[in-house]
Structure 1
Amino acid sequence: MKIVLAYSGGLDTSVALRWLKENHDAEVIAFCANLGQPEDFQAIREKALASGACKVIIEDLREEYLRDYVFPALRAGALYERRYTMAAPLGRPLIARHLVRIAHAEGAEAVAHGSTGKGNDQVRFYAGVVAHDPALRVLAPCAEWELKSRDEELAYAQRFGIPVSATADSPFSMDGSLWGTSTECGVIDDFRARLPRTAYQLTTDPQEAPDTPAHVAIGFERGVPVSLDGQRLAPMELVRRLTDLGGRHGVGRVDMVENSLMGIKNRALYESPAGAILHFAHRELEDLTIDCDTLHCKAELALKYSELVYRGQWWSPLRKALDAFVEASQAHVNGSIALRLYKGGIVVEGRETADALFDYGLTAHDGADRFDHPAGIGFAYVWSLPQRIRAKLRGPASEL
């Protein structure tokens, strides 16, 4: 039997590789997708081979990740439960698609991943694989094996000489990409616990951030970020610079209790400096350039879009249909938003766009005011007719 394992080099996938080899009498191909995580990929290759992999495939998917997954979600305004930029959920459908491609190329009968049975990722991987090839087996060692805790996983790794970075003293499960990181397990599992400094990967404690704020202007074309301070940049470089800048100033930390796909409330720590900055700037530009009805409808659909991503339904017809709406909504989201970053906060300093739906003569409260104020009286009369009729025929809405 031949299995392609989505391999990160962390504790779960390192143990899973050996476990699959031992329990399925299989040849295991380790596939590591480079999404911009801060890893030594040569070390990952050596670790996979030392753990029993018959072959290691490492592919650079960073540009595809940002272009085809992250930026569409950014344009949609998709933040799960209003805060989570979903770095991991956006990467899983991409990895799943390449798992299937590699399985076909290598003649594998199955693919595998390192997610637990109660985790969100096991559904994302499964759904992503079967959307492309329902005949492939999808194995989830962490949901099948006899190891009941991370301590037992660590003992298993030690028994087989598998090198892992997690220890009993630092048992965090950390996942990362260009778009952000997630940290789970250990004291994070307790919503009452105060998090140690070692739980953070990208961001400075806001209290220890520089006393001098940073300033940055982000340029957008059709809702896609294309420049910083007037300098046109490729997606990877733009996101990298914002990650470094925002992380240095403590921007992008999210410590939240979320509603997982399995119906469990769990605590997780997320860091996405670039995501926080770009979502903030994008919303500001949309407020200027999209009409009220479309903007409000888009906000409602953003919730659905984020749920689809989070719940592993990236390849659903609905997500593709929502992308068509988003594409139309972004036609005039062009311009630049200037921001100030200071000790974890983001503040608007300036807005520039040739596509603003903004008439100063209608909004001004000075001599430039050109609004027809008497017309407003008639508007108020017509707008309130339903309340007027109800009160006349059935009495006041409430007792005074």
Structure 2
Amino acid sequence: MNKFNKVVLAYSGGLDTSIIISWLKENYGCEVICVVGNVGQSDELIGLEEKALKTGASKCYIEDLTKEFVEEYIFPTIQANAIYEGKYLLGTSFARPIIGKRMVEIAIAEGADAICHGCTGKGNDQVRFELAIKAFAPDMKIIAPWRIWDLKSRDEEIEYALDRKIPISINYETNYSKDKNLWHLSHEGLDLEDPGVEPKYDKILEMCTTLENAPDKATYITLNFEKGIPVALDGEKMDGVTLIEKLNKIGGKNAIGIVDMVENRLVGMKSRGVYETPGGTILYAAHKNLEEICLDRETAHYKETVALKFADIIYNGQWYTPLREALSAFVKTTQENVTGEVKLKLYKGNLINAGVTSPYTLYSEEYATFGEDQVYDQNDSAGFINLFGLPITVKAKMDAALALKVK
């Protein structure tokens, strides 16, 4: 092993990072400085600094990144309509780059020799953290214990913690791998590793209620957007962090945003997880509804292609790349007229459009009406169809002529 004097650790207080402090000190004899990126994990931050120091860290930075997280990462992703494999709203994916960036800043300020993370060698987060580190400190050494230590499972991690009297808040029965932030909560491991098993929603859900326990009466909400950014809820203007927090409560109460999926990880394997994204699911639906009346057809259709690539880039940890920046610039341009009001009906996991308006709407009732109008000559459609269908007409005639020759 290399020798390090000072190591900055991406710390969450979870199982992995709780034991890594001791492991680093045992194997490197180094000073360990913990960095916690506060991206809205709320109650998980309670007592975290005290725990880190008691476990052997010399310092513990708890950095409030929530405002930047929302405005610089979440909102641009909503504007892009980026969804990974049609289901995943990228909650963990776009939280890692901002944490990685702050870790580098602290590591440089502290004169650290290396940065350490607790990601496994099977997961996506190792890529996301390390690409962020490379973007801002390309020569910084990176320590990834899961790739080099002797521990082979989370059960062995628990044993390691118990042997050293390291406080952990889980046991063998509740040993799900979780990631929580302002945007979402993910659940992996244990019984979820079998895609044939229904999740125990009544036991694992934290942000959302179950469908069965959701209210029997629908909830109506109104969201206002300015240039693709949500700015108000039910007529009340508020900042992005507050708005998402309120939507999480409303959506969670109505069982909105529960996703069970088997996704394709970047490292090659398939992985099954359950995601809770109540507020985010509402915002995506509202933004998409508004775009339907504000974007022209060619832009809307091309933007769907961009959304797929944008989602892949974020999922793969490539936030700090020229392509992501270029795609964000395109997306931002498309949002110039995405301003208006969206009403939604929430009912037992369902999001139902209840009306959308915009001063920039491209929907014209005068043209679209089934009633009498003075602007559209229906006879024009005959010539349009003749030209649009000309390749089909020519092909059909050629096929008929060839068939006669064969006979």
Instruction: Give the TM-score normalised by structure 1.
Output: 0.97
The equivalent residue for 1:331 is 336
Residue 52 of structure 1: aligned partner: 56
| Mapped partners of 2:206, 2:25: distance in 1 | 32
2:37 aligned partner: 33
CA distance in 2, matches of 1:368, 1:378: 20
Cα displacement (A) at 1:369: 6.4
Residue 104 of structure 1 pairs with residue 108 of structure 2: yes
Shift of residue 337, structure 1, vs aligned partner? 0.5
Partner of 1:318: 323
C-alpha displacement at 1:263, in angstroms? 1.1
**Matched position secondary structure for 2:319:** coil
How far 1:366 moved relative to its partner?
A: 1.1
Question: Is the 1:363–1:369 contact (alpha carbons within 8 Å) kept by the matching residues of 2?
Answer: no
SS of residue in 1 equivalent to 2:20: helix
Alpha carbons 1:21, 1:27 under 8 Å: kept = yes
Identify the residue that residue 304 of structure 1 maps to in structure 2: 309
In the alignment, does 2:173 pair up with 1:169? yes
Q: Answer yes or no: is 1:43 the counterpart of 2:30.
A: no
Secondary structure (helix, strand or coil) at the match of 2:173 reads coil
Q: Distance in 2 between matches of 1:27 and 1:191?
A: 42
Matched residues in 2 for 1:191 and 1:303: separation? Answer: 25
Does the Cα contact within 8 Å between 1:80 and 1:86 map onto a contact in 2? Answer: yes
Aligned-pair CA distance for 1:394: 3.3
- Residue 379 of structure 1: which of 374, 381, 384 is its match? 384
> In the alignment, is residue 91 of structure 1 matched against residue 86 of structure 2?
no
1:122-161 → structure 2 map (5 Å cutoff): 122-161=126-165
1:264 counterpart residue number: 269
1:16 equivalent to 2:28? Answer no
Deviations 1:239-263 (A, max 9, x none): 0000000001100101100000111
Q: Which secondary structure state, in structure 2, belongs to the residue aligned with residue 340 of structure 1?
A: strand
- Which among 230, 238, 244 is matched to residue 239 of structure 1? 244
- AA in 1 matched with 2:94: L
Which residue does the alignment assign to 1:344? 349
Aligned amino acid, residue 42 of structure 2: P
Aligned partners of 1:85 and 1:272 also within 8 Å? yes
User: Is the deviation greater in 256-265 or in 361-370?
Assistant: 361-370
Structure 1: how far apart are the matches of 2:264 and 2:45?
A: 33
Q: How does 1:349-368 map to 2 (within 5 A)?
A: 349-368=354-373
Percent of aligned pairs with the same amino acid: 41
Stretch of structure 1 that moved more, 142-151 or 71-80: 142-151
Q: CA deviation at 1:270?
A: 0.6
Q: Counterpart of 1:247 in 2: which secondary structure? A: helix
Find the aligned partners of 1:396 and 1:144 in 2 and give their Cα distance. 71
**Which of 204, 224, 243 is the aligned partner of 1:219?**
224
2:215 corresponds to which residue?
A: 210
Q: 1:256 to 1:369 in 2, by over 3 A?
A: farther
CA distances 1:46-67 after superposition (whole Å, capped 9, x unpaired)? 1111211111110111001000
- Give secondary structure in 2 for the equivalent of 1:89: coil
With 186-195 and 98-107 compared, the bigger mean Cα shift is at 186-195
Q: Which residue of 2 aligns with 1:61?
A: 65
| Superposition pairs of residues 174-189 of structure 1, within 5 angstroms | 174-189=178-193
Deviation at 1:198, TM superposition (A): 2.3
Runs of at least 5 residues in structure 2 that lack an aligned partner in the other structure = none
2:206 is matched with: 201
Q: How far, CA to CA, are the matches of 1:343 and 1:112 in structure 2?
A: 42
**1:120 Cα deviation (Å)?**
0.3
RMSD across aligned positions (CA): 1.4
Where 2:94 maps in the other structure, the secondary structure is helix
2:295 pairs with 1:290: yes
Alignment CA distance shift 1:384-1:20 (3 Å): same
Per-residue deviation at 1:40? 4.5
Q: Give a deviation string over 1:20-43, Cα, whole Å, max 9, x none.
A: 111121111010111111325341
* TM-score, with length taken from structure 2: 0.96
Residues 65-103 of structure 1, C-alpha deviation per residue, up to 9 Å, x if partnerless?
Answer: 000001000101011111111111111000010010000
Partners of 1:248 and 1:343 lie apart in 2 by 9
Determine the C-alpha separation between the residues in 2 that align with 1:320 and 1:74.
15
What is the CA distance between 1:104 and its match in structure 2? Answer: 0.4
Asked if the contact 1:47–1:162 (Cα under 8 Å) also holds between the matched residues in 2, the reply is: no
CA distance in 2, matches of 1:369, 1:272: 47
Question: What is the identity, as a one-letter code, of the residue corresponding to 1:63?
Answer: K
- Residue 2 of structure 2 corresponds to residue 2 of structure 1: no
| CA contact 1:16–1:142 (8 Å) conserved in 2 | no
In structure 1, how many angstroms separate the alpha carbons of the residues matched to 2:21 and 2:210?
A: 36
Using the alignment, how far apart are the partners of 1:369 and 1:340 within structure 2? 35
CA shift digits 1:254-313 (9 cap, x unpaired) = 110000011111101111101100000000000100000000000011000000000011
Give the whole-Å Cα distance in 2 for the aligned partners of 1:40 and 1:397.
74
Give the SS at the match of 2:60: strand
Q: What are the Cα deviations for residues 5-31 of structure 1, in whole angstroms up to 9, with x where unaligned?
A: 110000011111211111121111010
The number of residue pairs the alignment matches comes to 398
Distance change (3 Å), C-alpha of 1:393 and 1:40: closer
- Which segments of 5 or more consecutive residues in structure 1 lack a partner in the other structure? none
